[in-house]
Structure 1
Amino acid sequence: MSRVANGMSNVEELTRERVLTSMRAVGYRPNGAARALKYGRFHTVGVIMFTLETLGNVRTLDAIATEAAAADYSVTLMPVPDPTLGAVSGAYRRLSEQSVDGVIIIFEASLLDRVEITLPPGLPVVVIDSNAGSGYAVVDTDQAQGARMATEHLLSLGHRQVWHIAGPTTSFSAGHRAESWRATLQRAGITPPPIVHGDWSTESGHRAMLKLVGERDLTAVFAANDQMALGAMKALHELGRLIPTDVSVVGFDDMDESRAFWPPLTTVRQNFREVGRVAMARLLAQIEAPDAAPQTTLIPTELMVRASTGPAPTLPGRPTATPAG
């Protein structure tokens, strides 16, 4: 029976069928732990993440689970509501006690002390969206590329300033996007204006735009995600500002609803599914070759140009802007 349960080939087909029928009749299931001791694999991976409330995390987790299933692995999810290094280390230890072959950490929050992740040795680890350092494999969206494309797109339309509604200061992705937005403006010879921070929610984007509407040079806004862009557009509609005639708006994510905004939102598309797929593939490669050097992989973004962006308007007291390029 053990040869049949373990999928060995040196069993006659008639005998195999009889044994499988008997196993199903009595509800027999192979002991995963015992098989792992014998073959060195539990065929389970752990995922540590802070929240399932964001679009990116849900799509990334779905891709990880799909890729794991295709490789005959199951996934154990370990939510960590407290975004600290100690909480992550504790979750890692709990997962190692639950017999997993490796761990993926979706670590989007920035640690206050800015230290690199340090975990007990023993399990392969892949980190998504973090400053994991050289000791761990990292897979992430190319945040800088996306923010640069968004900002350059607005400048190419003749806008002489691009305001930014950023994500929380505790978020790595928000920080990377803000840094790239700032650097893009500086390369164009423009002094970046003050950042207004949101918390990724539609409501925070609405509040941020209400703070910005008094700015004389407000003709273009880059929001760090689509939900905050939606809130910003809502505020502009309420105030009678036309989009994009008066103000152009760009988001980041390309969630499904972005095409249904009014007007449809120009945004940066993140390939969350590819991030999850590559992260799982990198983890499986580490499980097979634990001594391989860790890699950092950036997944490219794509600018989706829609009707929420247009040529810069003529502001009182200055000539019409000429689009770059």
Structure 2
Amino acid sequence: MSEGGGATAGARGRGARVSMADVARLAGVSSQTVSRVSNGSPSVDPRTRARVLAAMRELGYRPNSAARALKRGEFRTLGVIVFTLHTTGSVRTLEAIAASAAEEGYAITLIPVSAQTQDEVLGAFTRLGELAVDAVIVVMEVHLVDDAVVRLPPGLPVVVADSEADEHYTAVDTDQAGGSRAAVLHLLELGHRTVWHLAGPQRSIAAERRARAWRAALRERGLPVPAPLHGDWSAESGYRLGLELAADPACTAVFAANDQMALGLLRALHVSGRSVPGDVSVVGFDDIPEAASFLPPLTTIRQDFAEVGRRLVAGALHRLRGGAAPRGAAVVPTGLVVRESTAPPRR
């Protein structure tokens, strides 16, 4: 073994690339055995595997993953297009996709898109078509995938985090409408006569769904629908718009479209001298880890981001393996988490 290693080390020292045959000679096994170890085959004896891995480390050998991918016909990589890295939903969904992909033995290639112009979106899709990916996951924030000028690369399975995506795509989403409805009903059942809405950006898919469900829940009961105030998902926008809500003595209940804006709203109500939940009840959306530590702890709608990520990856692999796109979106349930920021209104 040392004799073979010396010859290989000498060849490597002269600039030759370490080959699978070099590893096989040093480990005293066949090239086929080295190949099986490189591919993670469970059929290799543990002692032999350890010897081969030791030889790989000694020689600095790295398996040629591109060559293996071509041989297998797949790259074991999922492309992920994400339209923002500034919102809790997108970041936590991306984290869940990466974790689920790793569990399945896949890596991810991330392409962030600011989505300010069609050229940027088209450029991202073009780059994706040139990369070594097996399938595509699109984490949506605005309506772009179904625009006439935007088309994903042909021949790639596509999964979209958008429950109203084109029927040609596999779609996964959280129950935006159900969660928003639960938030509104919770406040109404406490006795509030209507619910104000601190909404997200007007072009946002999630903000649109939540505002639509809020409005519908009020209209079903014949209750007045206050004009929504649109923030940008940030605590700063929640604070700025919260000052407007705090100035309206009729406002006793607010549904904020995410927890960060709810945080800014809580501060605005505090500096305006309006207590929560004594004067105003507040419900958020997301159930970020910090929500239970707000002052007061925030009642909110919990999203299961881990399950969304798992289903997106599962959908991509299902399409990759020849499965048909299911009819309709896979909708992950949301749930109301009641804490101390909501209470019946003062009489």
Same fold (TM over 0.5): yes
Aligned counterpart, 1:92: 125
Which range moves more in the overlay, 142-151 or 239-248?
239-248
Q: Deviations over 1:146-181 (max 9, x none)?
A: 110000000001111100000001100000000000
Aligned counterpart, 1:320: none
1:4 alignment partner, one of 15, 25, 34: 34
Aligned counterpart, 1:317: none
Aligned counterpart, 1:182: 215
Which range moves more in the overlay, 289-298 or 227-236?
289-298
Aligned counterpart, 1:321: none
Q: Deviations over 1:220-276 (max 9, x none)?
A: 111101111111111111111111111111111111111111111111111111111
- For the residues of structure 2 that align with 1:193 and 1:223, how far apart are their CA atoms? 13
Which range moves more in the overlay, 155-164 or 27-36?
27-36
- For the residues of structure 1 that align with 2:314 and 2:45, how far apart are their CA atoms? 35
Q: Secondary structure at the match of 1:23?
A: helix
Verify the 8 A CA contact 1:116 1:132 in the aligned structure 2: no
Evaluate the alpha carbon distance shift between residue 16 and residue 178 of structure 1 in structure 2; reply closer, same or farther with a 3 A threshold: closer
1:81 alignment partner, one of 114, 127, 136: 114
Give 4+ residue runs of structure 1 displaced > 6 Å after superposition: 9-15
Aligned counterpart, 2:290: 257
Structure of larger gyration radius:
2
- For the residues of structure 2 that align with 1:10 and 1:161, how far apart are their CA atoms? 65
- For the residues of structure 2 that align with 1:90 and 1:266, how far apart are their CA atoms? 41
Aligned counterpart, 2:276: 243
Q: Which residue identity lines up with residue 57 of structure 1 in the other structure?
A: S
Verify the 8 A CA contact 2:129 2:153 in the aligned structure 1: no
Which range moves more in the overlay, 47-56 or 81-90?
81-90
Q: Secondary structure at the match of 1:72?
A: coil
Q: Secondary structure at the match of 1:256?
A: coil
- For the residues of structure 1 that align with 2:147 and 2:298, how far apart are their CA atoms? 34
Verify the 8 A CA contact 1:140 1:275 in the aligned structure 2: yes
Q: Which residue identity lines up with residue 41 of structure 1 in the other structure?
A: E
Verify the 8 A CA contact 2:176 2:210 in the aligned structure 1: yes
Verify the 8 A CA contact 2:163 2:330 in the aligned structure 1: no
Aligned counterpart, 2:158: 125
Aligned counterpart, 1:282: 315
Aligned counterpart, 2:233: 200
Q: Which residue identity lines up with residue 97 of structure 1 in the other structure?
A: E
Verify the 8 A CA contact 1:124 1:290 in the aligned structure 2: no
Aligned counterpart, 1:165: 198
Q: Which residue identity lines up with residue 225 of structure 2 in the other structure?
A: P
2:101 alignment partner, one of 68, 72, 75: 68
- For the residues of structure 1 that align with 2:281 and 2:46, how far apart are their CA atoms? 68
Which range moves more in the overlay, 213-222 or 152-161?
213-222
- For the residues of structure 2 that align with 1:95 and 1:74, how far apart are their CA atoms? 15
Larger RCO: Structure 1 or Structure 2 (Cα < 8 Å, ≥ 6 residues apart)? Answer: 1
Q: CA deviation at 1:116?
A: 9.3
- For the residues of structure 1 that align with 2:335 and 2:159, how far apart are their CA atoms? 24
Q: CA deviation at 1:34?
A: 1.6
Q: CA deviation at 1:290?
A: 4.9
Is residue 340 of structure 2 the alignment partner of residue 310 of structure 1?
no
Aligned length: 314
Seq. identity, %: 54
2:185 alignment partner, one of 149, 152, 165: 152
Q: Which residue identity lines up with residue 247 of structure 2 in the other structure?
A: G
Q: Which residue identity lines up with residue 172 of structure 1 in the other structure?
A: I
- For the residues of structure 2 that align with 1:10 and 1:205, how far apart are their CA atoms? 58
Q: CA deviation at 1:18?
A: 5.0
Is residue 72 of structure 2 the alignment partner of residue 39 of structure 1?
yes
Verify the 8 A CA contact 1:116 1:133 in the aligned structure 2: no
Is residue 252 of structure 2 the alignment partner of residue 219 of structure 1?
yes
Q: Which residue identity lines up with residue 228 of structure 1 in the other structure?
A: M
Structure 1 gap ranges (5+): 315-325
Q: CA deviation at 1:293?
A: 4.2
- For the residues of structure 2 that align with 1:10 and 1:67, how far apart are their CA atoms? 25
Q: Secondary structure at the match of 2:290?
A: helix
Q: Secondary structure at the match of 1:233?
A: helix
Q: Secondary structure at the match of 1:252?
A: coil
